[in-house]
Amino acid sequence: MTLLEGSIGVEDLVLLEPLEEESMLKNLQLRYENKEIYTYIGNVLVSVNPYQQLPIYGPEFIAKYQECTFYELKPHIYALANVAYQSLKFRDRDQCILITGESGAGKTEASKLVMSYVAAVCGKGEQVNSVKEQLLQSNPVLEAFGNAKTIRNNNSSRFGKYMDIEFDFKGSPLGGVITNYLLEKSRVVKQLKGERNFHIFYQLLAGADAQLLAALKLERDTGGYAYLNREVSRVDGMDDASNFKSVQSAMTVIGFSEEEIRWVLEVTALVLKLGNVKLSDEFQANGISASGISDARGVREIGEMMGLDSKELERALCSRTMATAKEKVVTALNVVQAQYARDALAKNIYSRLFNWIVNRINESIKVGTGEKKKVMGVLDIYGFEILEDNSFEQFVINYCNEKLQQVFIELTLKEEQEEYKREGIPWQKVDYFDNGIICNLIEHNQRGILAMLDEECLRPGVVSDSTFLAKLNQLFSKHSHYESKVTQNAQRQYDHTMGLSCFRICHYAGKVTYNVNSFIDKNNDLLFRDLSQAMWKAKHPLLRSLFPEGDPKQASLKRPPTAGAQFKSSVAILMKNLYSKNPNYIRCIKPNEHQQRGQFSRELVATQARYLGLLENVRVRRAGYAFRQGYKPFLERYRLLSRSTWPRWNGGDREGVEKILGELSACTSEEVTFGKTKIFIKSPKTLFYLEEQRRLRIQQLATLIQKIYRGWRCRTHYQQMRKSQILISSWFRGTMQKKRYGKMKASVLLIQAFVRGWKARKDYRKYFRSGAALTLSSFIYKSLAQKFLLGLKNNLPSTSILDKKWPAAPYKCFTTANQELQRLYHQWKCKKFRDQLSPKQVEVLREKLCASELFKDKKAAYPPSVPVPFRGDYIGLRGNPKLQKLTGREEGPVLMAETVRKVNRGNGKTSSRILLLTKGHVILTDSKKSQAKTVIGLESVAGVSVTSFQDGLFCLHLSEISSVGSKGDFLLVSEHVVELLTKMYRAVLDTTQRQLPITVAEQFSVKFKESNVTVKVTQGPRGNGSGKLSCKKKGSHGLEVTV
C-alpha cells in the first residue's frame, strides 16, 4: 500500500486501499504501535485508547492546531474541536460532537479534551473564566456520582450525558445545559464480581473526616455495608480521599452552598444505610407470610438523620397499600418482596438524587433567555453493546446507537449532497444499508417492540416476560431483522445459541440476542406509593423534594410512564437536537480488555469496528469521490509536477490545476471532476499516484538544489580563500618589516648609549675614587640586610613549638642566614617552653620520650598510648593499706601498680596478679589475698621480650644467679605494657646504672625451671591483637600464643 508522505500508515481511512476490514485493522494497529492514536474517516475522528499519558496535549499543541486547518496537521482531537468551534464562531452554525464507543474506550477523556480545548481558545475575562471553570468543574461531580469501576474500565460512565455549551456572538461561553440518560441505578444494590458501586460511596467513606462521618452515622470500613462490594474497595491509581476533596471543591465552584453539599452527602449516606436494613420472616395471625425489621437500629438512625418516623418507614418497607376508587387494602410483604421494595427505594433515591444534582448544575450554568446565543453540544453516550447476557439495558442502549447511526448516515449523505450541489457536480444515488427498518422495528408507535412492551406492562391479567416474548413472536414472525426460537422452528432452522426466553435483532453492527427475563420489571420501574409517601413526610428538605408524588394533595392513580417510553422520548428529543446542528463524530476504540499500554487485540478491535460501523462510514464517504480539495492548496502542493506551473504560475488557481492534471496520463476525466471551488478525485489510487509523482519530483528538485548549492559553496569558498590569502600575505609582509625596523632602531640606540657612556667615563675618570665600587656595594648589602632583618622582626611566627612556619628569604644570599635564624628561634622557643614546665611535667615528658625511643615504629601498641597520660596507679593503691605495706617505706613511692595476668608455665592458662613496681623491686601479689608471692629485684632482671603486635604480652628474663631466677622467667600480660616497660627501663637505669635490654620479636625463648620453652606469638583472625590471648602447648618445648 502506498503511503502519504511523512505519515505512519494512512491518516484518513477514506484513502485506504484495498478497502477491507483486514487492511483497516492493520492500519489502525500500525498507527497505534507508533503512538498515533488518532485516524480520520473524512471529518470523523477514530480514537484508540493508549492507556497512558502521551505528550501530545497542552497549551503548545492547542496553539498549533488553533492556527491550522483540519487536514494540515496530523489527526488530532484538537483538530476536530477546532473545526467545530471555528464553524460555530465564524459561520454561525450550531455544532454537536458525538462521542461513542465501548466502556473503557476513552469517551469521558475525549469529552474532557474537547471541553479543555474550547475553554483554552475562547475569550478571556473574569466572567468568562468563571463560566469556563463551572463547566469544567461539572465533570468531577458527575464522575463521582455517575461513574464506577467495571470489569472493563476503572472509571466507566454508567450514564449517558449530553451537554449544550452556549456561546455569545464573540465565541465566549455563557453557560450550558446538561442532559443525562439512563443512569445504571441497578448498580446501587448489586455489582458483578470485580466491580464497584458508584465512586461517591467510597470517596465519602475514605475522604470524610471523623466529625462528618459521625454526623452521617457512618463508619470508615467499606466492608460494613451490604451495597458495597467487599472484594473490591480500592482501585489502582485512584485516590478516593483526594477525589472526595476535589468533588467538594468542584461543587463549591459550581455554586452549591454548604447546606446543599451537606444535604447531598446525607442522602448518599441514606442509600448506604438502607442496604444494611435487615429483613426477617414473620407470620401474621392467619398464617400468611410477612416480614419485619430484625435490627431496628439502622431504621432508627435513618429516621434520626432524615427526620422520619422509624415506625412509618418500617411499615412502608414491610407492607403495601392498594388503593382503588372506593377503598384501600393493606397487604403484608414477604421477605423477598420487602427486600425488592427496599432495593427499589434505594435505587430510586440515588437516581433522583443524580437527576437533582444535574438540575442543580444546570441552574448554576444556565443562560438568560433574552441573550442570543450559539450552541455546541457534546454527546458522551454508551457505545453499541453485545454481552454474553443482554438485557433491557443493552436493548435501549443499542436502540440509541441505531438512531445515532441513522443520524450519521442521513447527515453525512446530506452534507455530501449539499457539497455536490454547491460545486455544480451532478448527484448520484449512493447504495448503503438504511437501518430505518431496524429503528422502526423497535420504536414504531403501534407495532414496535417498545410499544408491545408498554402494552404488556399496562395489560390487566397475568403479565410475564414469556407472554411479552410470545406477543413479539406472533407480531414479528416474518420480520427479516427479528429472530427467536419460535421463528427459527417455523423456518426449520436449528440454533443452539438461541434460548427459549430470548429473541434476536439484526442490528447494523451485528446480531444481538436479548434475554427477556426482567424486561417487564425494568420497564415498569415501580416504586410502591407507601415508600414515596414515607419519603415525602421526611423533614429533610432535599429528600422530601425528590418524591413530589408522595404529597397526598398530588396523589394520582394514573400510572407513571414506563422506563422504555421515557427513554424513547429522550432519544427523540436528542435526535431532534442533533438534526438541528452540524455533527462532528469521535469514534472511541478500546485496544485490549486488560487496560495495558501497547497491546492491540485485533479480534476485539474488529468487533468494535463493526459495532461502530467504521467500514460503513468509509463506504458512505467514498460513495462519490474519495478526495476533494480547494484549488489553491491543491495547486500549492502539486504545482511542481508541471513545467508550466513551476517555479511560478501567474494564472488562476483552477487553470493551474487543469494544466497540471492535463500533463499527467493517469488523471483521466473519469477519475477527476472540477467543481466551482474544489477538485474532486474519485479513486484513492489517483491521489497516491499524485503523491508518488510529487515524491519523485521532490527528489529531482532536491538533487538540482544540492548541485547548485554545492557549486555555489565551492566558488564562494575559493573566493574567500583567495581573499584571505592576499590579506594574510600583506599583513605578514608588513609585520616582518615592522619587526626588522624595530630591531634596527633598538640596535642603534644601544650603540649610541655605549658610545656616550664610554665618552663620559673617559672625561670624568680622573674624578672617580678607586674604592667607590666596594663602598657602594657594601652600603647596598647592609641596606638589604637591614631591610631583611627588620622585615623578619615584624613577621615572626607564633611562639608555639608546634608552629614550624618561617618566612622565606627575599634573596638567595640570605638563605643560609635565614635557616640559622630559624634554628635559633626554634631552640629559643623550646627553651622557653621547657622553662615554663613544672618538674612533674618534665618527668612525664621524659617518660614519653623514653617510650618513644624504646617502642616507636617497633610495637603496634605504641601509637595509641602517645596521647594517653601515664597514670602509674591503676588499682587504687592509696585506698589499699595492705598493698602499701608490701612495698616498705625504704623502697620509696610505687612507680607502677596494675593488675596483670600471669601465664602458667605448665598448661598455658592465665591467672590474675597485682604487679607493683618500685625503684628496687618488681612485686607480684595475689589479687585476692594481697600477699606477696614473688619479689624480684631489678638487678635480677636480665631483659624483657615483647611482640610487635598491639597486645600486652611480655616476658621478664631473670638472671640465673638470683634466687627467683632459678624457677624460671615470667610470662605476663599487661593492658599498659608500654607504660610499664618504660617505667621499668628507667628504674633499672637509675638503680643499676645499666640499660635494660628490651627485645621486640614474635618468637623468643623463655626459661621454665630447667628447660627452655620457645614462645611463638601469632595474630588471630580479628587482626587487631586486642582480644583475649589463647595459649596452647606444642610439645614439651613449645608454646603457641594467639593474640
pLDDT band of 1, cuts 50, 70, 90: very low
The pLDDT value given to residue 893: 82
Asked about 655 being catalytic, the answer comes back as no
Tell me the average pLDDT across 742-762.
92
CA distance 122 to 165: 12
**Is 658 tagged catalytic?**
no
CA–CA distance, 290 with 279 (Å, rounded to integer): 10
CA 734 to chain CA centroid, nearest Å? 69
Is the confidence at residue 767, as pLDDT, over 80? no
Percentage helix, strand, coil for the chain under 3-state DSSP, each rounded to 5: 50, 15, 35
Instruction: Indicate left, alpha or beta for 103 from its phi (over 0: left) and psi (-120 to 50: alpha).
Output: beta
Query: Residues 970-992: pLDDT tens digits?
Result: 888 998 889 888 989 988 888 88
Report DSSP state, residue 198. B
| Strand (E) or helix (H) holding 283 | strand 279-283
Which of 320-329, 649-658, 900-909: highest mean pLDDT? 649-658
Give 880-896 pLDDT, tens digit per residue.
777 777 666 556 788 88
Q: Is the pLDDT of residue 137 over 50?
A: yes
Q: Which of 17, 266, 282, 385 is catalytic?
A: 385
Burial of 309 (0-12, 13-18, 19+ CB in 10 A): middle
153 is catalytic: yes
Which whole-number Å values give the CA distances from 361 to 163, 206, 261, 347, 543, in the listed order?
11, 25, 12, 21, 18
Of 392, 289, 375, the closest CA to residue 336 belongs to 289
Listing from the earlier edge strand, what are the strands of the sheet with 44-48?
A: 38-41, 44-48, 582-589, 95-101, 374-380, 160-167, 173-181
Q: How far is CA 157 from CA 100, 117, 423, in A?
A: 12, 21, 43
For the chain, the first-to-last Cα distance in angstroms comes to 85
Residue 913: phi and psi, rounded to 5, are -140, 155
* Main-chain dihedrals φ then ψ at residue 903, nearest 5 degrees: -85, 125
To which residue does cell 473545526 refer? Answer: 83
Whether 735 is catalytic is no
Average pLDDT value over all residues in the chain: 85
The predicted model gives 670-684 an average pLDDT of 82
Confidence band, pLDDT 50/70/90 cuts, at residue 621: confident
3-state secondary structure 984-1012: HHHHHHHHHCCCCCEEECCEEEEEECCEE
- Residue 258 pLDDT greater than 90, yes or no: yes
Tens digit of each residue's pLDDT (9 = 90 or more) over 832-869: 888 888 888 888 888 888 888 888 888 888 898 888 88
8-state DSSP, 630: E
For 158-173, how does the pLDDT look when each residue is reduced to its tens digit (9 = 90+)? 888 888 888 888 888 8
Identify residue 474 by its one-letter amino acid code.
Q
C-alpha cell at 490: 417455523
Query: Active site includes 385?
Result: yes
Q: What is the spatial distance between Cα 329 and Cα 349, in angstroms, rounded to a whole number?
A: 26
Q: Are 156 and 148 within 8 A, CB to CB?
A: yes
Known active-site residue 383: yes
The more confidently predicted of residues 668 and 734 is 734
103 a catalytic residue: yes
Digit-coded pLDDT (tens) for 89-129 = 887 888 999 888 877 888 888 988 998 898 888 877 677 77
Catalytic residue selected from 9, 42, 101, 104: 104
Helix (H) and strand (E) counts for the chain?
A: 32, 31
* Residue 679 binned pLDDT confidence (cut-offs 50, 70, 90): confident
Q: What is the pLDDT of residue 324?
A: 63
771-826 tens-digit pLDDT = 667 778 888 888 988 888 888 888 888 888 778 888 888 888 888 988 898 899 88
Q: How high is the pLDDT of residue 766?
A: 64
In this structure, the dihedral spanned by the alpha carbons of residues 443, 445, 446 and 448, taken in order and rounded to 10 degrees, is 0
Q: 3-state DSSP call for residue 921? A: strand
Among candidate residues 1004, 916, 995, 932, the one with its CA nearest the CA of residue 964: 932
Name the percent of the chain lying above pLDDT 90: 24
At which residue does the C-alpha cell 452549591 appear? 256
Judged by DSSP in three states, 586 sits in strand
Name the residue with higher pLDDT: 507 or 414: 507
Q: What is the pLDDT of residues 295-335, one digit of tens each?
A: 888 888 888 888 888 888 888 888 887 766 567 777 888 88
Mean pLDDT throughout 430-437? 75
Question: Could you say which of 207, 303, 377, 383 is catalytic?
Answer: 383
| Distance separating alpha carbons of residues 434 and 409, to the nearest angstrom | 8
Question: Which of 906, 970, 916, 977 lies closest to 946, judged by CA?
Answer: 977
Say what the pLDDT of residue 905 is: 67
Confidence of residue 718 (pLDDT cuts 50, 70, 90): very high
Which pairs with CB-CB distance under 8 Å and at least 24 residues apart come from 143-146? Answer: 143/108, 143/199, 144/198, 144/199, 144/200, 144/203, 144/243, 144/244, 144/247, 145/198, 145/199, 145/200, 145/353, 145/354, 145/357, 146/180, 146/183, 146/198, 146/354
Question: Of 47, 49, 157, 398, which residue is the catalytic one?
Answer: 157
Q: 1022 pLDDT exceeds 70? A: no
Confidence of residue 2 (pLDDT cuts 50, 70, 90): very low
**Which residues have CB under 8 Å from 342's CB, separation 6+?**
274, 277, 279, 317
| H/E stretch holding 410 | helix 392-423
- Amino acid 891 reads E
Q: Collapsing DSSP states into helix, strand and coil, what is residue 448?
A: coil
The residue-averaged pLDDT of 228-242 equals 86
Q: Do 552 and 533 touch, CB atoms closer than 8 A?
A: yes
Rounded Cα–Cα distance for residues 395 and 438 (Å): 12
Rounded to an integer, the average pLDDT of 560-574 is: 86
156 is catalytic: yes
DSSP letter for 562, please: P
Write b or e for each residue in 733-760: b if 16 or more Cβ atoms lie within 10 A of its Cβ, otherwise e. eeeeeeeeeeeeeeeeeeeeeeeeeeee
Which candidate in 111, 116, 139, 156 is catalytic? 156
Q: What is the C-alpha separation between 1005 and 1010, in angstroms, rounded?
A: 13
Those residues whose C-beta lies under 8 Å from the C-beta of residue 1022, and which sit 6 or more positions away, are none
Which entry of 43, 82, 100, 103 is annotated as an active-site residue?
Answer: 103
Catalytic site residue from 82, 108, 291, 517: 108
For residues 39 and 11, the answer to whether their CB atoms sit within 8 Å is: yes
pLDDT tens, 350-401? 999 999 999 999 998 888 766 668 889 888 887 777 778 888 888 988 898 8
Beta strand pairing status for 95-101 and 582-589?
parallel
Residue 909 near residue 929, CB atoms below 8 Å: no
Supply 633's cell numbers.
492548496
Report percent pLDDT > 70 for the chain: 94
pLDDT at 432: 67
